[in-house]
Amino acid sequence: MAAFEKINLEKGMYQTGRSLTEILEELDPSENYQGTALEGLDAFSRQLKRFDIKVSGRGSDTIEKFFATSNSAALFPEYVSRAVNAGREEADVLGDVVATVTKIDGMDYRSCTSSLTDDDKSLKRVAEGAFIPVTEIKTNDNLVHLHKRGRMLVASYEALRFQRIDLFTVTLKQIGAYIARSQMADAVDVILNGDGNQNACGSVSPASAGSLSYADLISLWGALSPFEMNTVLASGTAMTALLTMNEMKDALAGLNFQGTGKMITPLGANLIRTTALGGNSIIGLDKNCALEMVVAGDAAVDYDKLIDRQLEKASISCIAGFAKIYNGAAKKLTY
């Protein structure tokens, strides 16, 4: 009998503050399977194989397969959590917006920042024995506001037991996508209004009110100096205005888009459309130093209800917040 087949799975594994996958990897490390038929599977996937549970593909099992034994039932909450996280990752564009992700165990977190003047941003020559300029790093006055985003899963076990797992996965992924879009809205709100430490986003005025020109994009790009404008967030209206500019209609650019699927972007920045921005608004930012994402654990599920088949009201939620790192690394343009 292989090592992964001897592990006793129980509800208490979810009470450690770590995911079931992390605990299983500790008990049954994946490196032990290099060069074997199980190479490429993580510890959770090996448990699915142990109980012959197929979660995708033509031979996908029904949900009741999870509840064939008490051991296999303990896998169901982790499956739900992984499916929700997969949906978040597929719909998530925060990776192109945040500079770093900080995971915490509690609900209180205070970020740090460095307020740089124009004089601080240039490294001057220092003569022998002279004073070396100082960059001060300090914690913010206010805590990062963490928001809980989630959905309540309302369904009876009888209604779900004969449903295919891959079909149920689609629903769970949609829940993850909703959470990702909500977190994107939280990120945009912090960029625009600040994180409570008097660091609201600076604005750039258009050359002509009511219309967007390429010169406005140049002004936005210049206002970010010495930071780099490598990401542009735009509302649906602003995205249309951007892509219909004469400068964006270059014939060679059109050939490149049809040949490679890569769209021409303003000044080489990554262009992201988001419903979190309304009206005629554009945000230019340096994704490498503008925003920090703070996450309190992974997707949380009511593991006890799921294991006990009490699906009538089982919640799925994520807790996250955002903090600004350098205030000048993002600018807003409203035309």
282 pLDDT more than 70: yes
Q: Is 87 helix (H, G, I), strand (E, B) or coil?
A: helix
User: pTM of this prediction?
Assistant: 0.80
Q: What is the pLDDT of residues 173-220, one digit of tens each?
A: 999 999 999 999 999 999 999 998 888 999 999 988 888 998 999 999
Q: What is the pLDDT of residues 69-117, one digit of tens each?
A: 989 999 999 999 999 999 998 988 898 899 999 998 877 888 877 766 6
Residue 269 has φ and ψ, to the nearest 5°, of -80, 155
28 pLDDT more than 70: yes
CA 166 to chain centre: 23
Q: Which residues pair with 100 in a beta bridge?
A: 292
Task: Copy the structure tokens of residue 222.
Answer: 């210049």
Task: Copy the structure tokens of residue 216.
Answer: 């406005």
Is residue 146 within 8 A of residue 319, CB to CB? The reply is yes
137 pLDDT more than 90: no
324 pLDDT more than 80: yes
* Predicted pLDDT at 8: 93
317 pLDDT more than 70: yes
In the chain, % of residues over pLDDT 90: 45
Alpha helices in 212-260 (DSSP H): 214-223, 236-243, 251-260
Task: Copy the structure tokens of residue 296.
Answer: 């309190």
Q: Is 321 helix (H, G, I), strand (E, B) or coil?
A: strand
Alpha helices in the chain (DSSP H): 20-27, 43-50, 70-73, 76-91, 157-160, 165-193, 214-223, 236-243, 251-260, 303-307
Is residue 197 within 8 A of residue 142, CB to CB? The reply is yes
Which candidate, 300, 319, 308, 317, places its Cα nearest to that of 15?
A: 300
Contact partners, residue 170, CB within 8 Å, separation at least 6: none
Contact partners, residue 303, CB within 8 Å, separation at least 6: 11, 14, 77
Pairing mode of beta strands 291-296, 100-104? parallel
Contact partners, residue 266, CB within 8 Å, separation at least 6: 214, 217, 232, 242, 248
